[in-house]
Amino acid sequence: MSRPAPRRARVRFGVLPLAGHISGRVISASPVSIHGDRYLDLLLQTAEQVATDQATRLRVAAHALAPGATLAPNQHVRVTFLMQQVTLVEVIAPEEQTP
């Protein structure tokens, strides 16, 4: 008897607000190199997205990671952005997650 394939979150490619931050759980963080510049493709699920099985994909420049931070699935992070560009990604405790 075969197992059903695991459900995948529906990915949202929405536009970020002009400035602010979002918090959520890392689904995946995949390194990408574009013409020698290093980035991470970050798949993030906010608390509101859990109920609808959605997630948000962000491309993050490597220099936006907090010093010493490495991202792994199920970590909770706060993503800060300005002019719709990610400026900082920091690992936080789950209870620090804000909508």
- Name the residue range of residue 57's domain: 10-96
Residue 14 lies in a domain: yes
What is the distance between the alpha carbons of residues 6 and 96, in angstroms, rounded to a whole number? Answer: 29
Tell me the CATH number at 48. Answer: 2.40.50.140
- Kindly state the tokens that stand for 85: 């560009």
Does 1 map to a domain?
no
CA separation, residue 48 to residues 6, 23, 24, 82, 93 (Å) = 21, 10, 9, 22, 17
Q: Report pLDDT for 14.
A: 58
The whole model's pTM is what? Answer: 0.77
Q: Looking at 1-99, which runs of residues are DSSP E strands?
A: 10-12, 19-34, 37-45, 54-61, 76-82, 85-92
Q: Give pLDDT tens digits along the chain (99 positions).
A: 555 544 555 655 556 778 899 999 999 999 999 999 999 999 999 998 888 888 989 999 999 998 888 899 999 999 999 988 899 999 998 776 665
